[in-house]
Structure 1
Amino acid sequence: MPKKAIILIEGHTRGPGLLYVEAARRLGLHPITLSIDPTRYDYLRAESTEAIRVDTNSLDAMIRECSQLGKEYDIVGVTSAAQSCCVTVGKLCQHFELPGPNPALTERCNDKFTQRQLLAEAGLPLPAYRLAANVTDVEISAAEIGLPVIVKPAAGIGSIGVRLCRNLDEVAEHTTYLLSGKHVWASSPRILIEEFAQGPYYLAHIMGNEVIGIEGGDSGPPPYFVFREGIFPALLTDEEQERIADVSLSCLRALDLDWGPTCIEFRWTMRGPVVIEVNPRLAGVPCPQLVQLAYGVDLITEHIKLAIGEDWNLHKRHSQTAASRLLVPDNDGILDWIADNRATDVPGVAEVKFYVKHETPIVRRGDLRDLIGHVLAASPSPAQTEAIVQRAVDLIEWSIKPFPALGE
């Protein structure tokens, strides 16, 4: 009988790729990663995980590769830890008649303007928004909505290209940058202009039609939105949790999303919870680990179970408070050294992870790529957990030396 295998499309350099490999093995599966460049993912080599170089931008190439692998293995599922591969995963699952997300619905949801139109038609609370393709139209839209505004690509991930613009000069400057060729577009250049919804940030974690819980979070100082910390479950009243959960399920109905993981971002404004974005995927690292630390629910394992057609189990095994702190450098240069100084020994710390190595160039861009590591902790109470995280972060040190001057 051929060995059961699961296909993982691309991977992730900051944690979830390895977590998917480990979860697949725990379920008795043979993980096979298809990647345009498998050497990008150190864990594939470290874990002696099978990886095949293939053009993951070509559906035909991946169908051919999976068909070949099907002669040796029993391919029982296809999934990915990479946010950018959700549509491709759906198309492969559809082709091979495997459980998976509807690629058309996923692609529609990934278009942030279309997503907002559908949510607006369903009467859901949203920031005011406009779509534009040039500097003049963006400026007109910003004036109509009222400054400050968020200016961002209509398709994208990781807060790349997202900026708060407080005046029309900043609007013109950022729009010019996005259209100058320096920004890498996921699709044809279209710019979304949004009202700046001000208030605490929340993230609803959902599997299928079940809201597992709501995470609270915070980002760094404007004009960018680099996620800095999270706490799960969020410090909300029962009524507030119920309101966010109700709006979350209404979002799923409006977008016809009913398969697999979804995470929905909110800001709690004077109007209550306002939908910022619906993502038809698991939240990025370290959010799934927070859910596991707090409730004992391993979302990655349950996602793989769903992808191979098995029953999942979202039963909470315990209840405590988990928190994350993301490490962000305060200057550019070359990473000289980084050390945890026994932060991992602090009672209650679950993980200290660095995403970078010595001699890595550090260039801050104001998005997810700025992060250089994280600290995770859990305890019975929010205050205790926050204190544990802070104690661990205070122990971590790094040094970034200036870039060499030209000619050196």
Structure 2
Amino acid sequence: MARKALILIEGTTTLNGLLYVQAAQRLGLHTITLATDPTRYDYVAAEGIEAVRVDTGNLDALIRECSRLRATYDIAGITSASELVYATVAKLCRNFEMPGPNPASIERCCDKFIQRQLLAEAGVPIPAYRVAANATEVESAAADIGLPVVVKPAVGSGSMGVRLCRNVDEVAEHTTYLFGGKHTWQSAPRILVEEFAQGPQYNAEVMGNEFIGIATADYGPPHFVCREHICPAPLPDDDYKRIADVSLRCLRALGLGWGPSEIELRWTKRGPVVIEVNPRLTGGGIPQLVQLAYGVDLVTEHIKLVIGDERNLRTRHSQTAAVRFLIPDSDGILDWIGGDDRAAAVPGVAEVKLYVEPKMPIVRKLDYRDRMGYVIAVSSSLTETEAILQRAVDLIGWSMRPFPSIGE
């Protein structure tokens, strides 16, 4: 009998890729990663995962490789932890008549300008926005909307290239950065200029059409690098219901409703305003928080959906979980970092992870890639969880020295 396998297209340099591999293995599936460069993902070698080098930007090449693998394995499903290839994954699933999302819906959703148009047509509350193809159009859009504005690529993820601009000089500076060759574009260069929706941010998690829960998101403008998530978000019941209702309206407007989705919102003077909808499983430690807080394993339940097994999204318990990211405040050479073992030993700490090692160069990208590690804590109350988290984070320290000057 052929071995049952799950094909993962690309992976992630953060934790979700490994979570998919581990969940698949617990379900008795052999995992095969198809990637343009499998060595990008440390866990592939560390876990001894079968990997195939293939151009994942070439749908025909992926179809040929998956067809070849079907001669050896019983392919149970195809998916990915990466948003960058999720539309391609959807097309692969359609080609092999396997469960998967609607490719057209994923592609529309990944273009933030098209997403904005569809949400606006459906009457979903969103910030004022304009799309711009050059610096003059960006300047005009910012003037029309009114400062401050958020300036970001129309296609992208992980807060890459996203900045809050408070004045015309910052708008011009960031526009020059985006159009000037320093930013890596995932599509034709277009900039989205948006009203800055002021208020606390929340991430709503949905699987299919079932609302799972809400986490807080502490982003620090101007570059929106996430510092912390708390799950569940401490919200009154009425506010929780309003966010849930708006989130499900987003899915209907965008033609989603299969598999995981994340809706990012801010609570403003006019209530919940949708910042964007991500048509894939969230990152940033939220899957771990959801499992600790509710007992729902989003990664495993997504894989079950992919392979056609019955899901179980029933909440098993109620706790408060939080993650704090370790973010450097300068560039330089990391002389030392430590205390993670002591932090992990604090009662209530569920996980501590460091991505960096001494002597590594640290060059901030001003997005999710700046995370040097994280701490996750859980308890029966928000106050206790925050205290545990702070106690653990205070035990971790690091030191950096400036890069040497030229000639030193």
TM-score by length of 1: 0.98
Report the Cα offset of residue 359 of structure 1.
2.7
Q: How does 1:127-146 map to 2 (within 5 A)?
A: 127-146=127-146
Per-residue CA shift, 1:203-240, capped at 9, x if unaligned? Answer: 100000011001112112x2110000010000000000
Q: What is the Cα deviation at residue 288 of structure 1?
A: 0.5
Unaligned runs of 5+ in 1: none
Alignment identity in percent?
69
Secondary structure at the counterpart of residue 228 of structure 1: strand
- Deviation of the 1:46 alpha carbon: 1.3
Which residue pairs with 2:274 in the alignment?
A: 275
SS for the counterpart of 1:322 is strand
Equivalence for 1:165: 165
- For 1:239, the equivalent position in structure 2 comes to 238
Question: Secondary structure, in 3 states, of the residue corresponding to 1:405?
Answer: coil
- Separation (CA, whole Å) in 2 of partners of 1:85 and 1:289: 23
Secondary structure of 1:216 counterpart: strand
Cα distance in 1 for residues equivalent to 2:19 and 2:289: 13
* Cross-structure match for 1:330: 329
| Residue correspondence of structure 1 range 286-365 to structure 2 within 5 A | 286-339=285-338, 340-365=340-365
1:186 paired residue number: 186
Residue correspondence of structure 1 range 70-109 to structure 2 within 5 A: 70-109=70-109
Tell me the secondary structure at the aligned position of residue 184 of structure 2. Answer: coil
2:385 maps to 1:381 = no
Structure 1 residues 372-407: Cα deviation after superposition (integer angstroms, max 9, x where no partner):
111101000000000000000000011222222223
Instruction: Name the CA distance, whole Å, in 2 between partners of 1:234 and 1:310.
Output: 30
Partner of 1:43: 43
How big is the shift at 1:98? 0.7
What is the identity, as a one-letter code, of the residue corresponding to 1:250? R
SS in 2 for 1:342: helix
Report Cα offsets for 1:264-309 as digits up to 9, x if no partner. 0000000000000000011113010000010111000001000111
- Paired with 1:357 and 1:101, the residues of 2 have a C-alpha distance of 39
Distance 1:360 1:82 in 2: 26
After the TM superposition, which of the residue ranges 378-387 and 398-407 deviates more from structure 2? 398-407
Alpha-carbon offset, residue 341 of structure 1 = 4.7
- Counterpart amino acid of residue 289 in structure 2: L
Does the 8 Å contact 1:341/1:395 carry over to 2?
no
1:325-370 deviations in whole A, cap 9, x for unaligned? Answer: 0110111012222211510000000000112233322111211111
Cα displacement string for residues 37-81 of structure 1 (whole angstroms, at most 9, x for unaligned residues): 111112111111111111111111111111111100001101111
Q: Is the Cα–Cα contact under 8 Å of residues 341 and 397 in structure 1 kept in the other structure? A: no
Q: Distance in 2 between matches of 1:395 and 1:41?
A: 29
CA RMSD of aligned residues (A): 0.9
Taking the aligned partners of 2:262 and 2:109, their CA distance within structure 1 comes to 12
Partner of 1:203: 203
Count of residues in correspondence between the two structures? 407
| Contact preservation (8 Å) 1:154, 1:190 | yes
Whether contact under 8 Å (1:13, 1:355) holds in the other structure is no
Cα distance between partner residues in 1 of 2:75 and 2:110: 27
Looking at structure 2, the residues matched to 58 and 117 of structure 1 have their Cα atoms a distance apart, in angstroms, of: 29
Q: Determine the C-alpha separation between the residues in 1 that align with 2:160 and 2:46.
A: 30
Measured after TM superposition, the shift of residue 161 of structure 1 is 0.6
> What does residue 66 of structure 1 align with?
66
Q: Which runs of 4+ in 1 moved over 6 A?
A: none
Structure 1 counterpart SS, 2:281: coil
| Contact 1:335/1:398, CA 8 A, preserved across alignment | yes
Could you report, residue by residue, the CA deviation over 1:22-44 in whole angstroms, capped at 9, with x for unpaired residues? 10010010000111111111211
3-state SS in 2 of match to 1:246:
helix
Shift of 1:201: 0.4
CA distance in 2, matches of 1:91, 1:327: 37
Secondary structure of 2:265's counterpart equals strand
2:2 is aligned to 2
In structure 2, distance between residues paired with 1:342 and 1:3: 42
* More divergent stretch after superposition (309-318 vs 232-241): 309-318
